[in-house]
Amino acid sequence: MLSAFLILSLISVPLFGGDLRRLTDLEVRHMVLLLAALVLQILVIEVVPGAPLWIASTAHLVSYLLAGAFLYVNRRIPALWLIGLGGAANFAAIAANGGRMPASASAFRSAGLRAEDGVEGFVNSVVLAHPRLLALGDVFAIPQSWPLSNVFSVGDVCIALGGAVALHRICNSRLTASMSRKRGARKPAHLGKK
């Protein structure tokens, strides 16, 4: 779901006069941290969902720490603070619930998911009997009748919006041009010298 939103955001950049070529000037540091976080998430959620719960939960938490480290070292990139805020909210909910994202039963029903899914094995999002920090969990849903139906959290919203704002700011689209003018005409520090 987040990937689909970010792809739509990328497509929207030229529609608002942004230049996607500006992404090639972006100085991204320690990309290996983000790649390692993604690999861990894919392993525990998709490749080895039957792994012992404590291993999968620990790997899930470590993936958030790696992503957080990546965001920290690249903090000068516009809007990464919003992505970090979303990631921190998700991490707090996941850490408070033993490595799994708590979800509301009503959100699961709305998305057409069964609440008992994932109780025996590891899944990213699960309805728990006594969740902690449920307000930060997957309490929103894309209804079952819509494409990409699923549950999501306020942290996911921050991550998606942060990614969209970052793309539009870096590419200088009309959506965020007023933000750039307020900061002055100088070249942002996160862009390389060419």
Bridge partners (DSSP) listed for residue 125: 101
Q: Which two tokens stand for residue 159?
A: 């991550």
**Domain contains 27:** yes
**Domain contains 78:** yes
Distance CA 80, CA 61 (A): 20
As for how many domains the chain has, the answer is 1
pTM of the model: 0.84
User: Would you tell me how many other CB atoms lie within 10 Å of the CB of residue 114?
Assistant: 10
C-alpha neighbours within 13 Å on the C-beta side of residue 114? 4
Q: Which two tokens stand for residue 18?
A: 């942004």
**Domain contains 194:** no
**Domain contains 73:** yes
**Domain contains 179:** yes
**Domain contains 97:** yes
Higher pLDDT, 114 or 104: 104
- Domain of residue 172 covers 2-126+133-183
Higher pLDDT, 187 or 123: 123
Report CA 155 to chain centroid distance, whole Å.
7
Q: Which two tokens stand for residue 168?
A: 């539009």
Q: Per-residue pLDDT tens for 128-187?
A: 999 999 999 999 999 999 988 999 999 999 999 999 999 999 999 998 876 655 555 444
**Domain contains 193:** no
pLDDT the model gives residue 181: 57
